[in-house]
């Protein structure tokens, strides 16, 4: 599979999404709405390279906050925002490099930071793809339909944010066990929220509520399911993967090696970046993580865990298992312990004593719980393959500790105030202790075993066809053509924007008032 992709990068295989317009009538109404509200949609190329963004829009952004409900913030759906709460421009990719004092390994671990995207999470990008792909093809009417975002948290928030920017009403379906910050923010922007009696591990309950709402609301509802929408991994293929490649080329020396990518499974979206990177670095490895408390891929298992946002008990329809090389189990207790170590004063003081630079200690709040899971997975990945100082591993910090302050408060109430003894225990017992337990290198047939797990969720329960399930495995073109669809969408977005601009010239548009929202930036 990887050698095939490496050889096919110069051609365009697009047998996936049709770029035909679904409904010209709906498209005209959508263009009218966007024209009235002065909404311009960025292309994937502009999100990867903000220097392509028109000067007029960049000037507008100088007066807009990172989390403001203003359609110009669609152009901040990029890894390259200036680290400012208000009026920021663009620069290089936001990242942290993890030193050996914190990782215990020689490999260079590079972490892209989701904190500096609107809503404080990169899921705003994952939700951009599905809604825009429908808007520019007349597949979703924002004047008559609502967007439903089923999720375990950040995808709901990103979807609601993008819906507001694009003038659409939104509904969020989310487990009641997720952090309070997620619900508070959704309520602040007026999204309809449906809480399922479940936690991170109970995706079935989310789907049940989703189908109930579909039945009740009929054609007035459009479901944008992150676990099935190929425009989710396509955003990461087109933006995250290319950003990682660019950053590696900036940091690498002649002796450097792009060794791998570690990401937790989640919805399968961020792992879309792997399909891009494998074309550029055919010898790299991709590692996929999950909680050992719910070892779905590792052991066909089940259970519950506390690493909010990484999914389990099912295999996402949009996850390409042929592209995975290694499975890594992460202990949720380690993630909880390190959230406290990184954010409590005694923990930070201990890290300084261990030689971690103060400039890095001061920034460790950029790691949320699932982001810490990604860090631990990258460490285990490096240890498994005995990586050296010239070897690079990339991962992402999906969100930051700003979204888990209620969790930190709860831990202190239940466990007592954080002490130096806790810091010592967590540094050695939850960070430096990471080893190669709960890991499996995947052969061809082990990848196929994981792929077949999709059957039970998607064919038996959700109505997908066995034919397409088999096609995902057998057809070498299936995945790459769906990811390369972003190039066609670039053309559709440009056409959409031009039609909106032309329409605007024909009448006078009143000034539209946008809501603002205080950011959880710090």
Q: What is the pLDDT of residue 516?
A: 55
Model pLDDT, residue 172: 86
CA distances from 301 to 291, 380, 421 (A): 11, 21, 35
34 vs 310: which has the higher pLDDT: 34
3-state secondary structure of 162: helix
pLDDT of residue 12: 40
Give me the pLDDT at residue 151, please.
78
Helices (H) and strands (E) in the chain, counts: 24, 11
Pairing mode, strands 285-291 and 326-330: parallel
103-145, pLDDT tens digit by residue? 999 999 999 999 999 989 998 999 999 999 999 999 999 999 9
Q: CA of 139: how far to CAs of 20, 25, 73, 435, in Å?
A: 10, 10, 23, 48
The model's confidence at residue 388, banded by pLDDT at 50, 70 and 90, is: very high
d(CA 489, CA 495): 10
The average confidence (pLDDT) of the chain is 89
Residue 94's pLDDT is 98
Q: Tell me the two tokens of residue 18.
A: 């049709």
Domain edges within the chain: 96-117+233-467
* Contact (Cβ atoms closer than 8 angstroms) between residue 311 and residue 300: no
* Mean pLDDT value across residues 359-375: 95
**Does position 293 have pLDDT exceeding 80, yes or no?**
yes
What's the DSSP call for residue 512? P
Copy the structure tokens of residue 319: 């996850």
Whether 243 has a pLDDT exceeding 80, the answer reads yes
Residue 290 backbone phi and psi in degrees, to 5: -155, 165
pLDDT at position 16 is 46
Are the beta carbons of 150 and 225 closer than 8 angstroms? Answer: yes
At residue 13, the pLDDT reads: 37
Say whether pLDDT at 418 is over 60.
yes
Task: Say if residues 373 and 338 touch (Cβ distance below 8 Å).
Answer: no
Q: Is 78 helix (H, G, I), strand (E, B) or coil?
A: coil
CATH code for the structural domain at 96-117+233-467: 3.40.50.1100
- Tens-digit pLDDT profile for residues 146-201: 999 887 767 888 888 888 888 788 888 888 776 677 677 777 776 788 888 766 55
Cα separation, 168 vs 321, whole angstroms: 34
Given a contact cutoff of 8 angstroms between Cβ atoms, the answer to whether 336 and 303 are in contact is no
Tens digits of residue pLDDT in 54-95: 999 999 999 999 999 999 999 999 999 999 999 999 999 999
Q: How many CB atoms lie within 10 A of CB 84?
A: 12
- For residue 362, the 8-state DSSP code is T
Return d(Cα 15, Cα 477) in angstroms, integer: 8
Of all residues in the chain, what percent carry a pLDDT higher than 90?
72
Whole-number Å distance between alpha carbons of 161 and 156: 8
Name the strand (E) or helix (H) holding 147.
strand 146-150
Tokens of 360: 């890095």
447 vs 204, more confident = 447
**pLDDT category, 267, cuts 50, 70, 90?**
confident
In this predicted structure, what is the pLDDT of residue 176?
78
Neighbours of 21 (CB within 10 A): 15
Q: Cα separation of 285 and 485, whole Å?
A: 24
Q: According to the model, what pLDDT value does residue 3 have?
A: 40
| pLDDT given at position 313 | 77
Q: Is 494 helix (H, G, I), strand (E, B) or coil?
A: helix
Residue listed under structure tokens 């460790």: 364
Alpha-carbon distances, residue 16 vs 42, 373, 387, 458 (angstroms): 22, 33, 37, 19
Q: 3-state class of 459 per DSSP?
A: helix
d(CA 198, CA 10): 46
Residues 226 and 127 sit within 8 Å (Cβ to Cβ): yes
pLDDT at residue 7, rounded to an integer = 40
């Amino acid at each position: 599979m990887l050698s095939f992709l490496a050889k096919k990068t110069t051609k365009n295989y697009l047998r996936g999404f049709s770029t035909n317009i679904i409904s010209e009538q709906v498209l005209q109404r959508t263009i009218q709405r966007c024209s009235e509200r002065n909404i311009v949609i960025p292309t994937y190329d502009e999100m990867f390279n903000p220097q392509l963004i028109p000067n007029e829009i960049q000037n507008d952004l100088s007066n807009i906050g990172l989390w403001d409900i203003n359609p110009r913030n669609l152009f901040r759906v990029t890894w390259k925002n200036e680290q400012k709460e208000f009026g920021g421009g663009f620069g290089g990719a936001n990242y942290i490099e993890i030193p050996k004092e914190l990782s215990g390994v020689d490999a260079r671990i590079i972490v892209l930071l989701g904190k500096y995207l609107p809503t404080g999470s990169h899921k705003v990008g994952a939700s951009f793809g599905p809604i825009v792909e429908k808007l520019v093809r007349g597949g979703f009417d924002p004047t008559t339909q609502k967007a439903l975002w089923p999720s375990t948290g950040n995808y709901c928030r990103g979807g609601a944010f993008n819906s507001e920017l694009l003038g659409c009403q939104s509904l969020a379906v989310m487990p009641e066990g997720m952090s309070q910050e997620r619900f508070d923010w959704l309520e602040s922007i007026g999204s309809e929220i449906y809480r399922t009696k479940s936690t991170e591990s109970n995706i079935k309950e989310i789907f049940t509520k989703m189908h109930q709402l579909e039945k009740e609301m009929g054609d007035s509802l459009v479901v944008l399911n992150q676990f099935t929408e190929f425009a989710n991994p396509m955003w990461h293929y087109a933006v995250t993967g290319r950003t990682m490649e660019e950053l590696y080329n900036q940091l690498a020396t002649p002796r450097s090696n792009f060794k791998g990518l570690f990401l937790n499974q989640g919805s399968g979206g961020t792992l879309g970046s792997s399909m891009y990177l494998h074309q550029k670095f055919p010898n790299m490895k991709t590692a996929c993580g999950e909680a050992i408390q719910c070892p779905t891929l590792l052991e066909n298992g089940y259970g519950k865990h506390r690493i909010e946002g990484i999914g389990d008990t099912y295999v996402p329809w949009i996850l390409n298992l042929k592209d995975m090389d290694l499975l890594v189990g992460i202990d949720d207790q380690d993630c909880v312990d390190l959230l406290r170590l990184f954010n409590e004063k005694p923990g930070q003081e201990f890290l300084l004593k261990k030689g971690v630079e103060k400039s890095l200690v001061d920034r460790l709040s950029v790691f949320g719980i699932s982001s810490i899971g990604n860090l631990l997975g990258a460490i285990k990945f490096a240890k498994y393959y005995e990586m050296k100082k010239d070897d690079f591993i990339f991962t992402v910090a999906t969100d930051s500790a700003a979204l888990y302050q209620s969790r930190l408060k709860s831990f202190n109430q239940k466990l007592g105030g954080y002490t130096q003894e806790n810091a010592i225990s967590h540094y050695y017992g939850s960070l430096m202790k990471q080893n190669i337990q709960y890991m499996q290198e995947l052969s061809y047939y082990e990848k196929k075993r994981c792929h077949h797990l999709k059957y039970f969720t998607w064919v038996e329960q959700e109505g997908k066809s066995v034919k397409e399930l088999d096609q995902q495995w057998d057809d070498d073109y299936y995945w790459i053509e769906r990811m390369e669809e972003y190039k066609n969408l670039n053309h559709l977005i440009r056409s959409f924007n031009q039609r909106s601009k032309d329409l605007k010239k024909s009448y006078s548009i009143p000034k539209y008032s946008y809501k603002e929202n205080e950011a959880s930036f710090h």
